[in-house]
Structure 1
Amino acid sequence: MAQMPAMVPAAAPADAHAIPLYGRDNPGALSSEVWSKAGGVDYTVRNVTFPTLTPVLPAKGKGNGAAVVVAPGGAFMLLAMDHEGWKVARALAAKGITAFMLKYRLTPTPKDEKEAAPFMGAMLGRELAHPMNGELLGKSDAPKDGAAAIAYVRQHAAQYGIDPRRIGMIGFSAGAMTARRVAIDAPAAARPDFLGYIYGPQDAETVPADAPPMFNAIALDDGLFPSKGFPIASAWMEAKRPVEIHAYQKGNHGFGLGMPGTTTTLVLDQFTAWLDMNGFLKPSHSARKDSQ
């Protein structure tokens, strides 16, 4: 947290296309949110209680029928809305993939920025030894919101010109942990067809035989999740599920679409090349059926 750019208070951006994730039953209120700009540039938000999903569409006639729910990170206490959210969604849409930016519920933090930073740092410090079994993930509504987002996109596939069998999820850091829980724990109707797991913890767990294919990317100098090898990828292999690993020499934690001067700048191209190799960008392909 100490290495993060200073947070400059900001008004919430206009988001006319945001969809309440649970419709009329949506919990919370927009008034709880605390918006800032990291370094005065990139939007972040804290204290989210009102989850939403924002479509980011390809240019007319350019969609390939695939869709991805984007889950930004922020230690379940903040969302990096620009850096790991809207920028990623727009980049996917530019490649013909219909993207859905997920703003999921967060652990409450002090409203004042000066109080929030040490609070979040202390909470995060307690979690890092066992991030996949910690309080922040364990008590979070993020996996529930992630599953609801996949279910919503699948239910409205025809409306967006999407193949309901080619709907995936990509997450960054806490968003990766969220996506991993959805991929493993959610019922079939709310489980993604593929998973982009970007600088999430590499700890192993039991992987079900019907887990979706996984694209796993992390920098070997990640300062938040120091290298343990790739136990989660090994667990995917033991379950006989497709998995691909990209371990970058440099990039640290939070490289988003890439840290300049490192090969992490290739991550989105590699992710979409992997999707294409596995048939997820081909209109007539039933990726879920063929990958099992």
Structure 2
Amino acid sequence: MINKIEMLRIALFTGLLLLTGITSASQELRPLWAEDKMPYSKANDLIEEEKESWGTRCVFNVVIPQLYIYPAQGKNSGKAVIIIPGGGYEVEAIYHEGHDVARELAKDGITAAVLKYRLPLAESSDTPEKLPITDVQRALELMRQWAGLYGFETDNIGVMGFSAGGHLAAFACSKVLQRPNFSLIIYGCPRLSDENVDWLENKLFHRTMTEQEYDEFNILEQVNSSTPPSFLVHALDDKVCHYEETSEYAAALRRHNVAFELHTFPDGGHGFGLGDESNGTDQWIGLAIRWIKRL
């Protein structure tokens, strides 16, 4: 349940957005849950804040999820994308992997919604691993309800995730409830390698995963003929999420005859957001927009 202190957080953060110029007439801020119906959360004293991390502005201590909606401009494509920023399940790179990307999609006729999802913090939940995926599924549910309002089709709503957000996007594609219609996974990490198991147990679960959870989060093994089509991007020199994270996901999609488009760049590292002209990674967003419109 959201208490009065938490509601004050929303008001203060919205005021900060107005002062910093992040909001505009073309963007709408919507809560994800009603005041008394936010599942898996518990009372806490965490204060949301923004500061630099990994060389970019990030949001810390997210306990109240929200959607920042950028309606399609110009000719409406009838498509919508929920953008899931990365941050290792510790922070959210909501600007260069969120708002910046949303503006590019919106100006090309694609409704974009940046999801500020609850971080899996032990202080805010007894089941922190449920928070991010529950918020993604709620965002999909709400966007389908609002399709007529924004002029897109209920069966043309995708997810776009970066890094840990890419893990979350791929995980959402393995679900039956509120499954996206397509996905874009940008330098994501869907493998259940020993390294990723350690990461998930430390940052998502805050405990050892059970055998059932291990199976559930074995995303590559969850791929089947019902998995949505995917647009995949990775840099070969990524030292945080190895490019095999993406190539193995592509191979799993191919085995089940699921359509995908894969783009790899020789340079770019990790966390390049919209990319850089100097190494060619800036090409992916244009390719992604054309792919979405072809669906």
TM-score of Structure 1 vs Structure 2, range by shorter chain = 0.7 to 0.9
The equivalent of 1:249 in structure 2 is 266
C-alpha displacement of 1:177: 0.7
Question: How many angstroms apart in 1 are the aligned matches of 2:128 and 2:171?
Answer: 10
> Residues 25 and 213 from structure 1, CA distance in 2 versus in 1: closer, same or farther, beyond 3 angstroms?
farther
- Structure 1: 5+ residue stretches without partners: 1-9, 111-136, 280-292
Q: Residue 104 of structure 1 aligns to which amino acid in structure 2?
A: Y
- Confirm whether residue 72 of structure 1 aligns to residue 85 of structure 2: yes
The equivalent of 2:46 in structure 1 is 32
> Residues 39 and 107 from structure 1, CA distance in 2 versus in 1: closer, same or farther, beyond 3 angstroms?
closer
- Confirm whether residue 44 of structure 1 aligns to residue 58 of structure 2: yes
C-alpha displacement of 1:240: 1.2
> Residues 39 and 238 from structure 1, CA distance in 2 versus in 1: closer, same or farther, beyond 3 angstroms?
closer
> Residues 140 and 178 from structure 1, CA distance in 2 versus in 1: closer, same or farther, beyond 3 angstroms?
same
Question: How many angstroms apart in 2 are the aligned matches of 1:222 and 1:174?
Answer: 14
C-alpha displacement of 1:170: 0.4
Instruction: Please give the secondary structure, in 2, of the residue aligned with 1:23.
Output: coil
Instruction: Please give the secondary structure, in 2, of the residue aligned with 1:222.
Output: coil
RMSD: 2.7
Normalised to the residue count of structure 1, the TM-score between the two structures is 0.74
The equivalent of 2:32 in structure 1 is 21
Task: Identify the range of structure 1 (191-200 vs 227-236) with the bigger mean alpha-carbon deviation.
Answer: 227-236
The equivalent of 1:176 in structure 2 is 166
Question: How many angstroms apart in 2 are the aligned matches of 1:255 and 1:22?
Answer: 31
Contact 2:166 2:188 in 1 (8 A): yes
1:170-211 CA distances to partner (integer Å, 9 max, x unpaired)? Answer: 010011111111111141xx1111100000125333312211
C-alpha displacement of 1:64: 1.8
> Residues 76 and 186 from structure 1, CA distance in 2 versus in 1: closer, same or farther, beyond 3 angstroms?
farther
Equivalent in 162, 178, 184 of residue 196 of structure 1 = 184
> Residues 22 and 186 from structure 1, CA distance in 2 versus in 1: closer, same or farther, beyond 3 angstroms?
farther
Question: How many angstroms apart in 1 are the aligned matches of 2:28 and 2:274?
Answer: 24
Question: How many angstroms apart in 1 are the aligned matches of 2:162 and 2:119?
Answer: 15
> Residues 220 and 55 from structure 1, CA distance in 2 versus in 1: closer, same or farther, beyond 3 angstroms?
same
Question: How many angstroms apart in 1 are the aligned matches of 2:157 and 2:36?
Answer: 24
Q: Residue 181 of structure 2 aligns to which amino acid in structure 1?
A: D
The equivalent of 2:239 in structure 1 is 223
Contact 1:105 1:140 in 2 (8 A): no
> Residues 25 and 65 from structure 1, CA distance in 2 versus in 1: closer, same or farther, beyond 3 angstroms?
farther
Contact 1:224 1:253 in 2 (8 A): yes
Equivalent in 210, 215, 226 of residue 210 of structure 1 = 226
Instruction: Please give the secondary structure, in 1, of the residue aligned with 2:133.
Output: helix
- Confirm whether residue 54 of structure 1 aligns to residue 68 of structure 2: yes
Aligned residues: 240
Instruction: Please give the secondary structure, in 2, of the residue aligned with 1:168.
Output: strand
